[in-house]
Amino acid sequence: MDFLFNDYNARIIINIGIYIIMALGLNLITGVTGQLSLGHAAFMSIGAYTSSLLSMKLGLPFGVALLGGSLTAAFFGVLLGFPTLRLTGDYLAMATLGFAEIVRVILTNLEVTGGALGLSPIPYKTTMPLVLISVILIVFAMARIERSRFGRALLAIREDEIAAETMGINTFRYKIVAFALGSFCAGLGGSLYAHFITYINPVDFGFNKSIEILNMVVLGGMGSIPGTILGSVVLTIAPEFLRFVEQYRMLFYGALLVIMMIFRPNGLLGGVNFTDLVLKTFGLKKKKKVNGSSEKEGVK
C-alpha cells in the first residue's frame, strides 16, 4: 500500500481538493447561474494574500486566517458584483477578466504584498484532513443549495433571466449572493493553497489560473457537482499523468481539451443527474428519462 499512500500522492490529493473547492465556487457562478466569469483567480489571490497576511503579519491562528481570507474574497465578490452583474453575457466575462488583471497589477505594486517578490514563508498549515473536511463541507453545502428554493431560482436565471424576473425572482440579488458564495469558495481555496505552497506571488494568479479553473467546470459538466469534481480531478492529474510524454506534455494537454470538448461537448458528466444515477445503479429507482436540458448526444 505504500505506493498508494505516500507523500507525493498526498500532495496531489490535497491539490485536487483545493481545486475542487474553487471549481465548485465557479460552478455556482458559471455553471448554475450561467454568469460567465473569467476572473476566478482574482478571488483566489485575494483569499491567498489576505489569509497569508493575517497569519504572517498578525500571527492569527490558521482557522481565523482561513475564514478571513474567504470572507474578504466574498466581500470583493459582492463589491464587483454590484456594478457588473447588470452586464450580460460576454461583457460580464470581460469585466471579470479586467477585474482580475487589475487585482494582479495592484498586488504587484503594493508594498504590503511584497510586490513581485511575493509573500514567504507562509506557515505550512494545510493538511490532508483539513482539505478533505473542507471539500466535504463545500460539496454538502453546494448540494443543499442546488436543491433549495435559492438554487432553483439560480437555475431559472441561467435558463431565462427575463422569465425568471417575471416569475418574481429578484435576479440581481440572487446573482450577487451566488457571486459572493462562489468567491468565498475561491478565497477558501486560495487560503488553503497559500498555506500549502508557502510562497505566493502575483504571477500565480493570472488569466491562465482563471482559465484552468473554468476548464474544470466546463470539462466536468456545467452545473453538475459531480461533474465539477470529476473535472477537477482529471485536470489536476492530467499534467502529472502526462509526464511520460515529457516535453510534449502540454501539446497533449491542449489536444486533450479540444478532443474532450468535441466528444463530450457538455462535459464529461453534463446532463447526468448524480443522485438518480446512484439510485439507479443500486436498483433503488425505476428508470426514468432524465430531462436534462443539456443532454444533447446524437443531436447534430
Partner 1 sequence: MKKSLALILTLSLLTLVAAGCGSGSGSDDVIKIGFLGALTGEVASYGIYTLKGMELAVEEINEAGGVLGKELVIVEADNRGDKGEIANVTQKFITKDKVSAIIGDPTTGGTIVAAQIAQPNKTVLLSAGAVGAGVVEIGDYIYRNTLLDSVAAPAVVKYVKENLGWNKVCIVTSKNNDYSVGQTEVFKKALAENGVEVLSEEFIQDKDTNFSGQVTNIKAKNPDGIVFTGYYTEGGLFMAEVHKQGLDLDMVGGDGLLSNVLIELGGQGVEGSMVFAGFSPEQPDENTAQFIEKYKAKHNGEEPDMFVAQGYDAVKILAAAMEKAGSSDPTVFKDALAQTKDFPGVSGTTTFMENREPVKSPISLLHVKDGKFSLLAKIPVEMD
Partner 2 sequence: MFFEQLLNGITVGSTYALIALGYTMVYGIITLINFAHGEIFMVGAFVGLALTRFLNVNVFLAILGAMATCMLLGIVVERIAYRPLRRSSRLSALISAIGVSIFISTLVQLIRGPQTTNYPASVINNTVYTIGSIHISKLQLIMILVSAGLMIALQLIVKYTKMGKAMRATSQDYDAASLMGININQVISFTFALGSALAAAGGVLVGIYFNAVGPFMGTSAGLKAFAAAVLGGIGSIPGAMLGGLFLGVAEITAIALGKSSYTDAIAFGILFLVLLIKPTGILGRPLQKKV
> Which of 266, 267, 235 lies closest to 252, judged by CA?
235
- Site track 236-275 with partner 1 (rule: CB under 8 A), x = hit: -x-xxx-xx-xx-xx-----------------xx--x---
Residues 84/95, Cβ–Cβ less than 8 Å? yes
Could you give the CA distance from residue 123 to residue 51 in angstroms, rounded to a whole number? 11
- Told to check if 255 binds partner 2 by CB under 8 A, we report yes
Which of these segments, 57-65, 85-93, 117-125, 140-148, binds partner 1 (CB under 8 A)?
117-125
- Told to check if 246 binds partner 2 by CB under 8 A, we report no
Return the number of the residue (163 or 290) whose C-beta is nearest partner 1.
290
Using CB under 8 A, pick the residue from 127, 207, 237, 274 that binds partner 2: 207
Q: Is 215 exposed, middle or buried (0-12, 13-18, 19+ CB in 10 A)?
A: buried
Could you give the CA distance from residue 276 to residue 162 in angstroms, rounded to a whole number? 30
Using CB under 8 A, pick the residue from 188, 222, 229, 230 that binds partner 2: 222
- Told to check if 197 binds partner 2 by CB under 8 A, we report no
Contact partner, 83, from partner 2, partner 1, none, Cβ < 5-8 Å per class: partner 2
> Which of 246, 257, 234 lies closest to 12, judged by CA?
234
* DSSP secondary structure letter of residue 200: B
Q: Which three cell numbers stand for residue 98?
A: 479586467
Helices (H), the chain: 7-26, 40-57, 62-84, 89-109, 128-147, 149-159, 161-166, 171-197, 207-220, 225-241, 249-263, 274-281
Rg (CA), the chain: 19
- Told to check if 140 binds partner 2 by CB under 8 A, we report no
Could you give the CA distance from residue 201 to residue 220 in angstroms, rounded to a whole number? 29
Could you give the CA distance from residue 197 to residue 74 in angstroms, rounded to a whole number? 22
Contact partner, 91, from partner 2, partner 1, none, Cβ < 5-8 Å per class: partner 2
Residues near partner 2 (CB under 8 A): 30, 36, 83-84, 86-91, 93-95, 97-99, 101-102, 104-106, 108-109, 162-163, 207, 211, 214-215, 218-219, 222, 247-248, 250-251, 253-258, 261-262, 265-267, 294, 296, 299-300
Residues near partner 1 (CB under 8 A): 3-4, 6-9, 11-12, 15, 108-109, 115-118, 120-121, 124, 193, 196-204, 230, 233-234, 237, 239-241, 243-244, 246-247, 249-250, 268-269, 272, 277, 280-281, 290
